[in-house]
Amino acid sequence: MISLLQPIRSCDSFQNVNDGDDGDDGFDAFFGKDGTMAKRILVIGSGGREHAWALRLANGATSAPMTDRQVFVCPGNGGIAQSFECITPPSNDVAGFVSVAQKLQADLVVVGPEQPLTEGLVEALESQNILAFGPDTFCAQLEGSKSFMKTVCTEAQVATAAYGVFDSIDDVKSFLADKMGGWVVKADGLCAGKGVTVCTSAQEALEVAEQMLGTQGTPLFGEASQKVVVEAFLPGTELSLLALCDGEEAHLFAPARDHKQLQDANKGPNTGGMGAVAPCLMVNEPSEPFLLRAKNEVFQPVLSWFKEQGHPYRGILYAGLMVENDAIRVLEFNVRFGDPEAQAILWGTPADLLPDLMAVAQGKQIDAPAYEKKCEPTCVVVLAAPGYPQKAQKGLTIHGLKDFESSTRSECFFAGVARDEDGLQTSGGRVLGIGAKGDSLPEAIKNAYEAMKPVHFDGMQWRTDIGTAP
Ligand code: AMP
Ligand code: GLY
């Protein structure tokens, strides 16, 4: 049985016709003002990123819901459910998501997180003739396996850090013997953002590899760290660059900066991301030629490689880049939007992505507008629960949201949030993302910190230097 959280979204702009489509699917059909049935878009996922997807897709290039579409989120969260219908799937897996999409008769499914992509959700939906936006499992290995990613970089001749792939600690020892400098140890598989450790010496890297491989017991991340990638530490300026890829061409979004460490001045443990700003390009090269170079040196070779393998890459491709002097090197690829980059980029870019996503899902090439030029200066500050990233405290009451005004200039993105009759509570590590726009990035940053002032919960953690950290 599929259960709906109570939808609170205003449907004023729709003429609501009970079950107007087939009589018994349990969902109301909405009709746009011109009488055509609204498209049903299903966003899979439960975080701030999915909230940002839902808002952008619902609003098109505007800042209010459009009448030709209806957006649902599965499973969503208690905060998103205040403005979108959130659907709890029968199971949080591929079969569960497919059954929701079928029941909903979705016109398009947009997959937010990496896990269902690596587990085959896109193919499973397509096999039921449901249009799905996201890469297939072959392409999703780019994020699902760090060693696969390295192989792609090597074969596509994309610059990345020197590396080795190991399943034995003795081989790590020989590889690191007599080596100086910093090293980065990465579990091969998906570890929910915890599988990368930056080490200042070869000795430390060896110890981390030992733990990950589990030579003293079971592997630290189970199957995900039966194999590790050990790679050279790259100095430089980090940058997140994302593109909507149609199999042939990468259509770039504005560059963004994500702040991964928990504390100010880039101290403390790595997190999923404590805030983001866009557009933000801290390199000594004008934006336009730099982005063209990144497209030609990184994105296009990867797309050509996948096409040659018979798996055109269709979906969002996220490149975590390190830029040093002129060199652009890839630290990681993700096969979906980043979180919180999505909140900054998607909300900051007033473009109607829906026709493009539908075309890409149908295997068509798109003539996308230059998304990267459309992004308004945007900042998102993440408010995290106490204990995050180790063990986030749940059930804390969130105060002050009544005084928070969503507008074209400020938005609250809901992530680890649950709701009951008493209101909203924390239910995960990253709880909220407070977004603001401005005429310039410094103004957007100032506005975000101003906008978050009324919002609080016990033990709330946030960084005060989003967009300004070194
Ligand atoms: P990843 O998940 O691979 O992006 O790694 C998480 C973070 O670790 C990145 O955002 C970087 O800050 C850092 N990192 C990863 N690989 C390297 C590298 N080779 N050199 C320097 N920093 C790295
Ligand atoms: N913010 C980085 C990520 O989503 O992986």
Q: Dump pLDDT digits (tens) for 418-456.
A: 998 889 999 999 999 999 999 999 999 999 999 999 999
Q: Is the pLDDT of residue 175 over 70?
A: yes
Which residue among 197, 198, 261, 274 has the greatest number of ligand 1 atoms within 8 angstroms of its CB, and so is best to mutate?
198
Q: What is the mean pLDDT of residues 34-49?
A: 91
Q: What is the pLDDT of residues 293-309, one digit of tens each?
A: 999 999 999 999 999 99
pLDDT bucket at 224, cuts 50 / 70 / 90? very high
* DSSP per-residue letters across 235-297: -SEEEEEEEEEESS-EEEPPPBEE--EEEGGGEEEE-S-SEEEES---SSS-HHHHHHHHIII
Nearest-atom index, ligand 1, CA of 260: 10
Q: What is the mean pLDDT of residues 173-178?
A: 92
Distance CA 455, CA 141 (A): 39
Ligand 2 neighbour 143 (Cβ under 6 A): no
Q: Is the pLDDT of residue 468 over 70?
A: yes
Instruction: Record the tokens describing residue 155, joined without a space.
Output: 């074969």
Q: What is the mean pLDDT of residues 220-239?
A: 94
Give the residue range(s) of CATH 3.30.470.20 domains in the chain: 235-375
Which residue among 190, 341, 380, 466 has the greatest number of ligand 2 atoms within 8 angstroms of its CB, and so is best to mutate?
341
Per-residue pLDDT, 353: 97
Ligand 1 neighbour 184 (Cβ under 6 A): yes
pLDDT bucket at 340, cuts 50 / 70 / 90? very high
User: How far is CA 281 from each of CA 52, 59, 284, 311, 445, rounded to the nearest angstrom?
Assistant: 22, 27, 9, 31, 15
Per-residue pLDDT, 403: 78
Statement: the pTM of the whole predicted model exceeds 0.85: yes
Relative to beta strand 39-45, strand 69-75 is parallel
Look up the CATH number of domain 8-134: 3.40.50.20
Mean pLDDT in the chain? 91
Q: What is the mean pLDDT of residues 337-356?
A: 97
Residues contacting 190, CB < 8 A, separation 6+: 114, 115, 118, 143, 144, 224
Instruction: Record the tokens describing residue 256, joined without a space.
Output: 């963004």
Q: What is the pLDDT of residues 276-335, one digit of tens each?
A: 999 999 998 999 999 999 999 999 999 999 999 999 999 999 999 999 998 999 999 999
Q: Is the pLDDT of residue 405 over 80?
A: no
Q: What is the pLDDT of residues 80-128, one digit of tens each?
A: 999 999 999 999 999 999 999 999 999 999 999 999 999 999 999 999 9
Helices (H) and strands (E) in the chain, counts: 14, 25
Does residue 270 contact residue 260 with C-beta atoms inside 8 Å? Answer: yes
Q: Is the pLDDT of residue 49 over 60?
A: yes
Per-residue pLDDT, 30: 60
Tell whether domain 235-375 is in CATH 3.40.50.720: no
Q: Which of 164-173, 191-200, 314-323, 359-368 has the lowest mean pLDDT?
A: 191-200
Does residue 149 contact residue 231 with C-beta atoms inside 8 Å? Answer: no
Tell whether domain 168-226 is in CATH 3.30.70: no
Tell whether domain 377-470 is in CATH 3.90.600.10: yes
Distance CA 300, CA 289 (A): 15
Q: Is the pLDDT of residue 25 over 80?
A: no
Q: What is the 3-state secondary structure (H, E, C) of 181-225?
A: CCEEEEECCCCCCCCEEEECCHHHHHHHHHHHHCCCCCCCCHHHH
Centre of ligand 1 from the C-alpha of residue 18, in Å = 51
Three-class SS state of 42: strand
Q: What is the mean pLDDT of residues 347-357?
A: 97
Ligand 2 neighbour 136 (Cβ under 6 A): no
Reference 452, options 421, 418, 413; nearest CA is 413
Per-residue pLDDT, 248: 98
Q: Is the pLDDT of residue 11 over 70?
A: no
Per-residue pLDDT, 350: 96
| Adjacent-strand bridge partners of 12 | none
Distance CA 449, CA 464 (A): 8
Which residue among 179, 184, 199, 204 has the greatest number of ligand 1 atoms within 8 angstroms of its CB, and so is best to mutate?
184
Ligand 1 neighbour 261 (Cβ under 6 A): no
Ligand 1 neighbour 198 (Cβ under 6 A): yes
Ligand 2 neighbour 114 (Cβ under 6 A): no
Ligand 1 neighbour 323 (Cβ under 6 A): no
pLDDT bucket at 20, cuts 50 / 70 / 90? very low
Per-residue pLDDT, 408: 83
Give the residue range(s) of CATH 3.40.50.20 domains in the chain: 8-134
Does residue 307 contact residue 301 with C-beta atoms inside 8 Å? Answer: no
Distance CA 350, CA 329 (A): 29
Give the residue range(s) of CATH 3.30.1490 domains in the chain: 168-226
Amino acid at 310: G
Per-residue pLDDT, 324: 94
User: How far is CA 194 from each of CA 201, 206, 224, rounded to the nearest angstrom?
Assistant: 20, 17, 11
Q: Atom 2 in ligand 2: which residue has the minimum CA distance?
A: 338
Reference 434, options 418, 451, 409; nearest CA is 451
Higher pLDDT, 15 or 343: 343
Q: Which ligand is nearest to the CA of 194?
A: 1
Residues in the chain: 470
Reference 449, options 438, 460, 461, 434; nearest CA is 434
